[in-house]
A and B are shown apart, each in its own frame.
Chain A
Amino acid sequence: MQTGDSEAFAALYRKYWRRLFDAAYRRILLREESEEIIQEIFVDLWAKRETLLISVSLEAYLFGALRYSIYNLIRSRKIREAYLEHLLQTPGEEGNYIEDRLHYDELARALESSVQNLPEKLRKVYMLSRKEHLTYKEISEREQIPVDTVEKQMGRALKILRENLKEFAWAWIVLEMWDLYP
C-alpha cells in the first residue's frame, strides 16, 4: 500500500468495505451517513498512504478509525437529538433496515435493467469490466478485439446507461467510476 498502488488500494477496499459498512450502519442506522463514513476512512487512508505508520494491524487501524468517525458523527450533532433518542431505544432490526435494503436493491435493479437493454457487444464488454473487474487489455485479449475498440464500446455503453439512468443521481455516481478508472 505504501507505494501508492491504486490496485492494492482497491483490493483493500474490497476486502474491508463490507464489514466496515455493516459496523457503521449497526451503530447509526443511517444509510447515507454510513456510506460517508466509509468514504472518509478510505479517502484518508489514500491521502496518508505514504506517510502513515500503522503500529497495529491494518484491520485494527480501520476499525479504530471507524469508531472514531462514529463517535465524531454523534458528537457533532449531525444526527439530530430526536434521532439519537430513537437510535438508542431501537432494540433490533426495524424500519431503516428494510427501507435501506430496498434502496440498494432498487439501485441495482435500475442499473441491471439498463445493462440488459444494451446492445449485445457493449453489454459483453461492460459485464467483463464491471462484473469480473477485467482491465481493457484483458478484455481485448479475451475477446480478440483491439484495446481501443474495447475502450470505444465501453464509452458508448456508459453513455447509453447514463442517458437511461439520468433521473437517478445515485446511479450516475456508480457509473462515473468507470469513466475515471477503466
Chain B
Amino acid sequence: MDKDRLLYLLENDKSGQNSPAEADELEAWYRSAETRPALTDGLSADGLSALENKIFARIERANIESQESVEELPVGKPGWFAWGKVAAAVLFLIVAGIGLYMFQRQSGRITERTAFGETRVLTLPDGSEVTLNGNSVLSYDAEWSDLREVLLEGEGYFNVVHTKDHRKFRVRTGADFSLDVLGTQFNVSKRESGTRIVLDEGKVRCNLGDSEKDTLVLRPGEMVQFRKKPSDYQRERVETGLYSAWKDHKLVFKNTSLREVAGILRDTYGLETEASRPELLDRQISGSVPTDNVDLLLQGLAEASAVTITRDGDLLTIESKSR
C-alpha cells in the first residue's frame, strides 16, 4: 500500500465512509504488521524493565499534571456579588452530578418526579416556574422561610421570580454543592457524569463548600463543571444555547462526541449504549435533533455520525456503517 492510499483509507475510516472492501483493505494493512518482530523480544531483561518503568513514569507524571491543572484554577472572589443589582435576567445552568444525594423526606416536603423522556412544567409556591427534564426529581419545603431552597436531582430549567424583600433562591444538588440566584431564569441538572453549570445571562453564585470563601461567581457565557468534588472545578466560556435546547424539545450538538451523547441518552432517556468498537464513541457530531420522538432522535444521531444505531428495548448498539 502506498502512503496516499493509506491516508485516504484512514480519512474515510474517521468519517465512516469506507466501503466494506476498503475497510477490509485497511484492516489487512493493520494486520500485516503482525508479522514484524516484537521490539521487546530483543531486549535484555534490564532493558525491558527500564522501558516498562519509563513508560509507567510518564503515565504517572501525566496523571499528576492533569490533577494539578484542575486544582490551579482561580477561585472567584466573593464580595463583588451585589445581590441588589441583579436585574431580572435569563440565567441558564446545567448541573450534572456524580453520586446520589439522598433526599430526606420530611413532613411538609413536596417532591415532583418525571419519568424517562418526560418533561413537565411546575409552579413553585412563590410563583417561580421549573421545567423538569426527563428522569429528574425536584423537592422543596411546602412552607419556605427566608431562603427559597429546592433540591434537584436530574435537570431542570428554572424561571425564578424576584421577591420584593430580595429573598435568596437556592438550588441545591447535594450536600456539598448549591447555587444562589436572585430573580432570574436558569437551568439546573444533576447527572451521573458530573456537575455542570452554564450561565446564560445574569449572575449566579456557586457555593463550593462549607466555607463562606468557597464561592464562585459566574459571568454570562461561562460554564463551570466538576466531576465529583466541587473544589476540583473547571471554568470555561461556552456557547450557552447548546445546553438549554432540550427545553425547546431539541438537542443541539457542536463537536460533541458520541460518548457525551450516550451520557445524555442514559441520564434523560434511560437508554444504555454499547459500541461495537470503542473508538466509534469518539466520533463528533454537530447539528440539532428533535427530542419529542426518541426514535427520530436516534435516526438523526445515526445520520449525523455515519453509524448505525439499533435499539433493543433500552439498549442501543452503535456500529460502524461500513461493516
Q: Taking A17-B56, A42-B59 as contacts, is the C-beta distance between A26 and B50 under 8 angstroms?
A: no
CB 8 Å contact bits of A94-122 with B (1 = contact, 0 = none): 00010011001101110110000000000
B3 within 8 A of A: yes
Q: Which of B3, B30, B272 contacts A85 (CB 8 A)?
A: B3
Please state if A18 and B33 are interface contacts (CB–CB under 8 Å).
no
By secondary structure, the A interface counts as helix
Closest Cβ of chain A: how far from B205's Cβ, in Å?
28
CB 8 Å contact bits of B170-184 with A (1 = contact, 0 = none): 000000000000000
B85 within 8 A of A: no
Residues in A whose Cβ lies below 8 Å from that of B28: none
Closest Cβ of chain A: how far from B305's Cβ, in Å?
15
Interface size on A, residues (CB 8 A): 60
A47 within 8 A of B: yes
Assign chain B's interface to a size class.
35 or more
Please state if A92 and B36 are interface contacts (CB–CB under 8 Å).
yes
Please state if B50 and A39 are interface contacts (CB–CB under 8 Å).
no
Residue of B nearest to A177 (CB): B57
Please state if A108 and B275 are interface contacts (CB–CB under 8 Å).
no
Q: Could you say which of A65-73, A134-142, A143-151, A152-160 contacts chain B? A: A65-73
Residues in A whose Cβ lies below 8 Å from that of B121: none
Please state if B39 and A101 are interface contacts (CB–CB under 8 Å).
yes
By secondary structure, the B interface counts as helix
Please state if A35 and B14 are interface contacts (CB–CB under 8 Å).
no
Please state if B278 and A65 are interface contacts (CB–CB under 8 Å).
yes
Residue of B nearest to A47 (CB): B66
Q: Which of A43, A70, A104, A111 contacts B59 (CB 8 A)?
A: A43
Please state if A55 and B47 are interface contacts (CB–CB under 8 Å).
no
Closest Cβ of chain B: how far from A4's Cβ, in Å?
10
Please state if A100 and B30 are interface contacts (CB–CB under 8 Å).
no
CB 8 Å contact bits of B226-244 with A (1 = contact, 0 = none): 0110000000000000000
Please state if B66 and A22 are interface contacts (CB–CB under 8 Å).
no
Please state if B6 and A181 are interface contacts (CB–CB under 8 Å).
no
Q: Which of A10, A61, A74, A84 contacts B56 (CB 8 A)?
A: A10
Residue of B nearest to A103 (CB): B47
Please state if A27 and B39 are interface contacts (CB–CB under 8 Å).
no
B51 within 8 A of A: yes
Residues in B whose Cβ lies below 8 Å from that of A104: 43, 47-48, 50-51
Residues in B whose Cβ lies below 8 Å from that of A27: 30, 33
Identify which of residues 31-64 in chain B touch chain A, using a CB-to-CB cut-off of 8 Å.
33-44, 46-64
A161 within 8 A of B: no
B322 within 8 A of A: no
Most A Cβ at <10 Å: residue of B11, B34, B56, B59? B59
Please state if A61 and B42 are interface contacts (CB–CB under 8 Å).
no
Residues in B whose Cβ lies below 8 Å from that of A22: 38-41
Identify which of residues 166-180 in chain A touch chain B, using a CB-to-CB cut-off of 8 Å.
170, 173-174, 176-177, 180
Residues in B whose Cβ lies below 8 Å from that of A109: 46
Q: Can you list 14 pairs linking A and B with CB atoms under 8 Å apart?
A: A18-B52, A21-B55, A26-B36, A27-B33, A51-B227, A54-B278, A67-B30, A75-B7, A75-B10, A92-B36, A104-B43, A105-B47, A170-B54, A180-B61
B contacts, CB < 8 Å to A: 1-3, 6-7, 10-11, 13-14, 30, 33-44, 46-64, 66, 98, 192-193, 227-228, 272, 274-275, 277-279, 282
Which 5 residue pairs spanning A and B have beta carbons closest together? A108-B46, A177-B57, A22-B38, A68-B279, A108-B50
A contacts, CB < 8 Å to B: 10, 13-14, 17-18, 21-22, 25-27, 31, 34-36, 38-39, 42-43, 46-47, 50-51, 53-56, 61, 64-65, 67-68, 70-71, 74-75, 81, 84-85, 88, 92-93, 97, 100-101, 104-105, 107-109, 111-112, 130-131, 170, 173-174, 176-177, 180-181
